[in-house]
Amino acid sequence: MLTATMAFTLRQLQYFIAVAEQGSVTRAAQNLSISQSSITEAVKELESDLGVELFERHPRGLHITHNGHQFLRHATKILADVSDARRSFSQERETRSGTLNLGVTSLVAGYVLSDLLARYRRACPGVEVSAIEDNGSYLEHLLVGGELDVAVMVISNLRDRMALQAEIIETSPTASGCRSAIPWSPQTSSRSPISPRNH
């Protein structure tokens, strides 16, 4: 069975609430700094989607209907929920701070590092990344000693696999089947290591 679906937008809800609060398209347009025709069109489209009249039109302005009052409560809650959702993600990004000590080998740096860093910085803009480039053996030593939080390297060359946790991020057919990974020390794994899931 096919049913009609509502397709109103957040902008239409914003315009509707403004008109309901001001009791006038003119005042609502002035407060929002947009044209009266934009608000009029948005309200008409909203009424069409809902299948009800939200306002009674009079020469002196608009009067919100009973259906309009009911929808006003819903519209206000929808915009408040959206605002809360945006705020929660913003706060989560802002609370991530500190420094991520990253090690990388030259073998894999050229084709995975820039993309990983770009994604990580979008997800955690408050975290400063400090990176060093060296051979895998030395990076493994720094990881085990807790001097690095995470490294991007070929895990087939790891000497002490039991001391490190690793996650495969790329397979390379050009490096004899070697797989690049992000090993990190268990002692520092709580510091939000770089991972494809962090974006």
What average pLDDT does the chain have? Answer: 75
Residue 194 confidence class, pLDDT cut points 50, 70, 90: very low
- pLDDT tens per residue across span 150-166: 888 776 666 766 667 76
The pLDDT score that the predictor gives to residue 146 is 83
Full 3-state SS string of the chain: CCCCCCCCCHHHHHHHHHHHHHCCHHHHHHHHCCCHHHHHHHHHHHHHHHCCCCEEEECCEEEECHHHHHHHHHHHHHHHHHHHHHHHHHHHHHHCCEEEEEEECHHHHHHHHHHHHHHHHHHCCCEEEEEEECCHHHHHHHHHCCCCCEEEEEHHHCCCHHHCECCEEEECCCCCCCEEECCECCCCHHHCCCCHHHC
pLDDT band at residue 64 using 50, 70 and 90 as cut-offs: very high
Sorted by where each starts, the structural domains of the chain and their CATH numbers stand as 10-93 (1.10.10.10), 96-198 (3.40.190.10)
Q: What is the pTM of this model?
A: 0.46
- Can you give the pLDDT at residue 179? 39
Range scoring the smallest mean pLDDT among 4-13, 14-23, 124-133 = 4-13
Residue 183 in this model has a pLDDT that exceeds 60 = no
Q: Quickly state the pLDDT bin for 3 (edges 50, 70, 90).
A: very low
pLDDT digits (tens, 9 = 90+) for 110-134: 666 777 788 778 777 788 888 888 8
Confidence bin at 74 (pLDDT 50/70/90): very high
- What pLDDT does 117 receive? 81
Assess whether pLDDT exceeds 90 at residue 186: no
Give the pLDDT confidence score for residue 143 in this predicted structure. 83
> Between the ranges 7-21, 92-106, 184-198, where is the mean pLDDT highest?
7-21
Please give the pLDDT value at position 92: 59
